[in-house]
Structure 1
Amino acid sequence: MPLGHSEILPLHGHPAGSLGHYAHTARSYIRNLARRLSPSRAILVILSILAFYVLTTSLAHDDNGMDSRSPSSSKNSGSSKGNNHPESQMSLKERKLREEHERMMIEWDSRSNYRTDLAEVGTSRISSYPASLFTTSSDRDHPASSLSSNSKYIPVTAVILSWKRKEGAKTVVAHLRKYPFIKEILIWNNNPEVVIAASEFTDRAKDSDSNNNNNGNATVSAEAANGWPSIIVFNSVANLHDFSKYTTCSLAKYDHCYIQDDDWINLSLDSLYTLFIDHPNSLVTSTIPAMYAQQRTWMFQNAQVGLHTGFSWLGAGSFMPKSAVFNFLLQLGGSNLWKERVQLSDLFFSLWRNQYPIVLSHALAPLDQSSSWSGRIDQWSVVYEHMTDAIVRITTVLSGLGLVNGSPHRVGAKSDFETEEETPLFKDRHTRSSCANDKCLFQTNVDMFPAPDQVKWSVEPHSRDIHAHEARFKALDYPSPEFVAMHTYHYSVDQDLSTCWHSYHALARGDFFGLQFVLPLLDLGANVNSIEIWSTLDSTLQVLESNMLIKASVDGDEWMTCRGQVERTQGSVRFTDVSCTDVGKNVGIQLDTRGIQYLRFEMTDKVTSPIEICGIRVGDMLL
């Protein structure tokens, strides 16, 4: 069953008064009576039940056949049941309602998780980051250290895994070359039946750049200003599956890798990169909202042994330090994993970091996925089997159990795993999604999902069941798949006022939602003189109008309180003439002053019900 869909259960029982109803009642009566009989009569009872079952099944079949006749046949037989029976009509109504619900959920699931406008958006999208941030005069001679040592703008090597989808890989490469922080592209071809040359990717990228210019975009693309990133293709003699991502990253020229498969396009790459450069030592990934909701049940915590880890898929786009890849290869070398396990390394990497991954939940654009591994019938059984192996092994190592003969890891392997949780701690991470225009990130401290430490992962071998672990999470106050599909985070900033983020929880004083822009506002070309926030809930509009402070920041640490004129409109609250003041320093600045990169909308008092945000406009930029 796809994530985000409701399971439609069959209707049980028979209409009251029907022969099927009486047969079902009789069978239940005989079963209860049989429990009271002595063992000596057990065989006779069983034979009686079998004989009665044959009879009642036949009668029930006749009853169903009579119910399915036409009205005229029912009249001729003297029956008043048939299709005109009120409860039969109710069952039909329920079935239609369920079918409609299922259809609606399929639409919402597709809407929240995927973009269907790749042809329109993908060809015109380019990076907001200027190429000058990643280029110096020494770039040619010293490519790995071309940026100043104190620059936060980090050059990256992209690693693309290709498997029987060469056209998909070409599309991905053409897209990545629009981003100036991608300085090198390494492509690993896992299909030994096909040889790929680096020259095959140049024409597609140039065509993409030409399309941007033909669309009337006056901005010079990153590639034209910065020169094409180098491309190297490795043609494998065998299919190494996921393992090749990590060996290829280890060959990267730069200290950080961006890893992606050839069956996705990530239209939020600037947003993901912005989050990454704030946390360059972390694993920063993208996934769709339905999978994000699932991954929140795949977080494992046990403070007693220093376990604090989580699983995340990497194939839709992930930034990571190369040092983490080297450490993972060391961990693999110290294990006794057999070939099939090593080939599916993605199911081990994020868990063995022993850190919670930083994950953006937003819509993605799927490419051709006809030859994907995830299309296998037994995909989920393989996923759970390998994840269980991964988490059992790290738990065993951290707990100090089994580090003798027969250990899943070598003696001393505990030093290969982090034991301190990295900062910012999970509870201090507030970035949830990317804006649809890829110029900002949506932030809130109101997490609709339970925190990882609310469910403890056992160190006892007999208690290590991931399915039971999931169930313990979902037994808490956990949003349903339907809720996630219809009210996910990125609906607040998807440039569509008909979709809305719902906070799920009521907000306390000091709780907030807000924005982090990929660059300071004026660098994005935004004419910032007002802010407008939309909602369909009158209670939310009331909160926005009278129970909220606007704050602004240059760095996300020190905040200035803002004031402005407030106007309530039909479905929105508008703030004009906004000015901000640093109370501690008594310094006043205008919102459109260069350097403002963060906005926060903070509650001044407790809110009694959850809020709903359908859209945000900052100046002339609808988010």
Structure 2
Amino acid sequence: MPDRDKNTLHININTGGVFEESPIRSYILRYFKGISQPRVLLLIAFIFLFVFFYGKNEESIGKNDIGKIETIQESDILTKIIPTEGDGECTAILLNWNRLDNIKIIVKNLCQHSMFKEIFIWNNNVDLHLSDTMFVDTHCNKIRYYNSPGNMYFIARYLACSMAATKYCYFQDDDWMIKHLRSMYSNFLRFPNLIHTDTNADVYSSTNWKWCFFDDDIDLHSCYSWVGTGAFTSRENVLKFLKMTSKTEMSSLEFIYGDMYFTTYLNQVPYQLENSLIELPQENGFSLTGKDRMLNKLYMHKALIRLYNYLSLLKSKNNNNPSTQMIEDTKEFSPTLYERDVRSPCHNDKCLFLTNKHSFPNVKLFKYKPYINISESERLHSSFFNTQHFISYPYSHAVDNDNSTAWISQDVIRKDDYIGLDLLLPMPVPLTFNLIIDHKSDYFNHLSIQISHDGSAWIQLSPSPKLDISSLSSTKNNLLSCKFRIRETGFRFLKLVSTRDWNFTFSIYDFAFDGVDNEVIDDTVNNILGNNDNDSGD
């Protein structure tokens, strides 16, 4: 009897795992042994047809999921693109006194940002000599430092900026971690003639209301803003300030308190952004006691008086020589305080929240009088308008990625009021936006969705994107989620404009656009294609 094993027909069909996982595998194997060659040929034909039609079905599934994969790939791009405009055009200025550990933490944070060509550390502590070995663990090759022969206090940061090789400077103190540098810098590059500062809601309510001083008769339009929690400025503005210290004959003691004079002396309202701040250890700091705070207000008041007298003198000279060219232009730069709409950086530093809704009364309601000191001015403003609502529901809560917080406007929504986002750079891919609000659903039926490349010329999308509106039942409020996709590319700005008046306020709990990490993308693609292997791999 012939040896059956020697005459067995061996068939090796690579089905890419389809055959092994098929529910008919056991039936095929059951009849495979000992069958005749003609039947084997029929079996081969059967398997071929099965694989062919299974593959067609799998191909069909793949086509249905192409849209999902494209969306994931677009989100992947978003995680990798960052603004590059202005790279290497800014010098970060840090002052060191007695918190070197904080300085090292800040240096690590700043060094990763490409806008900084150099990190200049001015050491005011004569008992400490900065050296390269102190910063080895920062792994930063942008550091330059200057060991001052004496404590120059705050004016040191402006002297350091005047020595910078770049046209822009960035200031911050050594007791804060500033997270939203890219977004603040992106807006600064749009308006580099205006100082840009970053602060929390509490201080913002002072720097945009209580510490604003206007008098149209002499072109006084100044708001004081602290630069220690993050500020971008042009080197040109710093040089202008240093010249003003000479023109106004500041005393040497006033000079070293330069922070109390800088934003005031430039006589332009700083472009201020509001968001949460991260505190670093505050020990050995400056201006921590009540006495120190009163001293700060004293110098703030002195700065205003000197500016007021200087502008009054200019006005008098210009009035006495009407036929000659104006001695110095003192007009307010555009965008003026009430032309601005950029409010807060998004939580991930990928965008800026926009709205035309202001949160405080018109600052011109109070005309500046030199005989009213800062504390009295604060009291007058507080008695006229309570800022607590804004402090509880600030702009930043609209883009903080937290559905338990909200920006709630003080005033109801009017026709042409809007909310929006600055995406920091023209978007190369279509985007999906998600807006979470506590509004009536009818609000979405009266929206004009507009996009812009430069924030000035706007295009209304027509037809308007399809809005996917759903209720978030898991929240304590009856929040609505609205998702929509904009397929146009190349735009940087988006705004949603109300086309009618409403009897309710803006209540924005979150406003964002999608982005996914690579690991998430890979897992999601594998799930779509069915390529996940659940084996342990041992």
Q: If the length of structure 1 is used for normalisation, what is the TM-score?
A: 0.64
Q: Does the Cα contact within 8 Å between 1:521 and 1:592 map onto a contact in 2?
A: no
What CA RMSD, in Å, does the superposition of the two structures yield over aligned residues?
A: 2.5
What does residue 600 of structure 1 align with? 495
Deviation at 1:474, TM superposition (A): 3.0
Change (3 A) 1:593 1:198: farther
Question: Equivalents in 1 of 2:147, 2:96: separation in Å?
Answer: 10
Alignment partner of 1:610 is 2:516:
no
Question: CA offset at residue 379 of structure 1?
Answer: 2.1
Residues 472 and 546 (structure 1 numbering): CA distance in 2 closer, same or farther, change over 3 Å?
Answer: farther
Could you tell me whether the CA contact under 8 Å between 2:359 and 2:390 is conserved in 1? Answer: no
Partner of 1:480: 387
Partner Cα distance (1:389, 1:518) in 2: 38
Q: Which has the higher contact order (CA 8 A, sep 6+)?
A: 2
> Following superposition of structure 1 onto structure 2, how do residues 243-322 of structure 1 map, counting pairs within 5 Å?
243-296=155-208, 297-322=210-235
2:465 matches 1:564: yes
Is 1:431 the counterpart of 2:332? The answer is no
Checking the alignment, whether the CA contact within 8 Å between 2:120 and 2:145 is kept in structure 1 is yes
In the alignment, which residue of structure 1 is the partner of 2:434?
532
Q: Is contact 2:448–2:496 with CA below 8 Å preserved after alignment? A: yes
| CA deviation vs aligned residue, 1:432-491 (integer Å, no higher than 9, x gap) | 110000000001100011232222113xx4x33333333343344x3433x233201000
Change (3 A) 1:558 1:372: same
Aligned-residue offset at 1:281: 1.4
393-402 vs 249-258, greater mean Cα deviation? 393-402
**Identity value in percent:** 27
Aligned-partner Cα distance in 1 for 2:373–2:289: 23
Aligned residues: 421
Residue-by-residue CA offset, 1:305-349 (whole Å, 9 max, x unaligned): 110111000011111111111111112123333332211110001
**Cα distance in structure 1, aligned partners of 2:240 and 2:135:** 31
Alpha-carbon separation, structure 2, partners of 1:423 and 1:402 = 21
Structure 2 counterpart SS, 1:521: coil
Matched, 1:331 2:244: yes
Confirm whether residue 542 of structure 1 aligns to residue 495 of structure 2: no
Structure 1 residue 600 displacement after superposition: 0.2
Answer whether contact 1:259 1:315 (CA < 8 A) is retained: yes
- Contact 1:564/1:575 (CA < 8 Å) preserved in 2? no
In 2, Cα distance between equivalents of 1:422 and 1:377: 35
C-alpha deviations, 1:337-370, integer Å up to 9, x for none? 3332211110001000000000111011111211
Give yes or no for contact 2:87–2:114 (8 Å, CA) kept in 1: no
* Equivalent residue number for residue 53 of structure 2: none
- Tell me which moved more, 555-564 or 174-183: 555-564
Q: Is the 8 A contact 2:199 2:272 kept in 1?
A: yes
Aligned pairs for 1:91-170 (under 5 A) are 129=82, 133=84, 155-170=89-104
Distance 1:548 1:467 in 2: 44
The answer to whether the 8 Å contact 2:122/2:156 transfers is yes
Distance 1:480 1:574 in 2: 30
1:51-90 matches, within 5 Å, as none
Aligned equivalents of 1:403 and 1:611: distance in 2?
46
Determine helix, strand or coil for the equivalent of 1:248. Answer: helix
CA displacement at 1:248 relative to structure 2: 0.6
SS of the equivalent of 1:373 reads coil
Stretches of structure 2 that go unaligned for 5 or more consecutive residues are 1-78, 318-325, 472-478, 518-538
Q: Is this contact kept in 1: 2:153–2:257, CA < 8 A?
A: yes
Q: Give the structure with higher Rg (CA).
A: 2
Alignment of 1:501-512 (within 5 A): 501-512=407-418
Counterpart for residue 353 of structure 1: 266
* Alignment check: 8 A CA contact 2:360 2:387 kept: no
- Partners of 2:493 and 2:267 lie apart in 1 by 30
Cα contact 2:265–2:303 (8 A) shared by 1: yes
Structure 2 counterparts to residues 3-18 of structure 1, below 5 A: none
SS of the aligned residue for 1:188 comes to strand
> In the superposition, relative to structure 1, how do residues 479 and 519 fare at CA in structure 2: closer, same or farther (>3 Å)?
farther
Aligned pair 1:469/2:377, yes or no?
yes
* Residue identity matched to 1:192: V
Whichever residue aligns with residue 555 of structure 1, its letter is D
What one-letter code is carried by the residue in structure 1 that aligns with 2:421? L
Query: 1:515 and 2:428 equivalent?
Result: no
CA contact (8 A) 1:175 1:205 kept: no
Q: 1:419 aligns with which of 317, 325, 330?
A: 330
Q: Judging changes above 3 Å, is the alpha-carbon distance between structure 1 residues 419 and 368 closer, same or farther for their aligned structure 2 residues?
A: same
Q: Alpha-carbon deviations, 1:134-174, whole Å to 9, x = none? A: xxxxxxxxxxxxxxxxx766710111111101111111111
Structure 1 match to 2:134 = 200
* Unpaired runs of at least 5, structure 1: 1-125, 134-150, 207-227, 405-413, 579-590
Q: 1:497 aligns with which of 394, 403, 408?
A: 403
Q: Do the aligned residues in 2 keep the contact of 1:282 with 1:358 (CA within 8 Å)?
A: yes
Q: 1:366 aligns with which of 279, 282, 298?
A: 279
Aligned twin of 1:388: 301
The AA in structure 2 aligned to 1:565 is K
Matching residue of 1:551: 450
Q: Is the 8 A contact 2:86 2:115 kept in 1?
A: no
Mapped to 2, the partners of 1:193 and 1:402 lie a distance apart of 48
- Cα offsets for 1:162-206 (capped at 9, x unmatched): 110111111111111111110011110111111111443242236
Helix, strand or coil at the partner of 2:108: helix
The equivalent of 1:178 in structure 2 is 112
